[in-house]
Chain A
Amino acid sequence: ETGVTQSPTHLIKTRGQQVTLRCSSQSGHNTVSWYQQALGQGPQFIFQYYREEENGRGNFPPRFSGLQFPNYSSELNVNALELDDSALYLCASSFIAGGPSYEQYFGPGTRLTVT
């Protein structure tokens, strides 16, 4: 069973640029969620994708967007980067079958630094 993988591991971008982070879900999972973890904080929910559609969103502006592909891999895109976007971005996958799936399995994260 393959776990959740994320790429890249680290990334440095300049304010105003755009970034794309990638996630490959755990084998057999059909749902992916993205979280932002700032230093010293717990992960904060950005959004979730199920069957290639957004299935819930946290308090993040529209410049945070995502995609889920037929193979259940996913991308997180952030436009017009701001310094406060510097954080660890975590992807989590789970399996939904007719009801909510609370137990999510996380990847190791992508550390984004915005300068």
Chain B
Amino acid sequence: DQQVKQNSPSLSVQEGRISILNCDYTNSMFDYFLWYKKYPAEGPTFLISISSIKDKNEDGRFTVFLNKSAKHLSLHIVPSQPGDSAVYFCAASFTGTASKLTFGTGTRLQVTL
């Protein structure tokens, strides 16, 4: 039962353009969402998060949008840089679950020159 889904296994974007990574979830109890970035041979690195009481959160080049009615969130990276090339995981959690994170399967982003 995949409660967090990332339907695009890969995405290629030109340097300087916007990267949009999508994530859908099925469990309406989720109330906190996170994005992690993972380089090969490293653990996932926390990028940005959003609480379900908000619909947008920005941190520099990274913005996360949450659409609760559609059970959908997206990560926008503007402008994209070659160093952003990595696997991006969407994760979700809800109160009372010991901060258990439920991850999607990841989207591999390649930023080309």
Contacts and interface: CB of A to CB of B under 8 A. Distances in A.
Contacts of A94: 99
Interface residues of A, number: 29
A44 B2 CA distance: 11
B38 to A, nearest CB: 8
Interface residues of B, number: 27
B41 A48 contact: no
Contacts of A101: 99
B98 A48 contact: yes
A108 B45 CA distance: 10
A7 B101 CA distance: 23
B100 A45 contact: yes
A16 interface: no
Contacts of A35: 101, 103
A55 B101 contact: no
Contacts of B99: 31, 33, 48, 56, 94, 96, 100-102, 104
Nearest to B32: A102
A58 interface: yes
Interface of B: 4, 6, 32, 34, 36, 41-46, 49, 89, 91, 93, 95-106
Given A42-B6, A102-B32, A106-B45, 15 more contacts: A33-B101, A41-B105, A42-B89, A42-B91, A44-B103, A45-B100, A48-B99, A50-B98, A55-B98, A90-B44, A94-B99, A100-B32, A102-B99, A103-B49, A104-B99
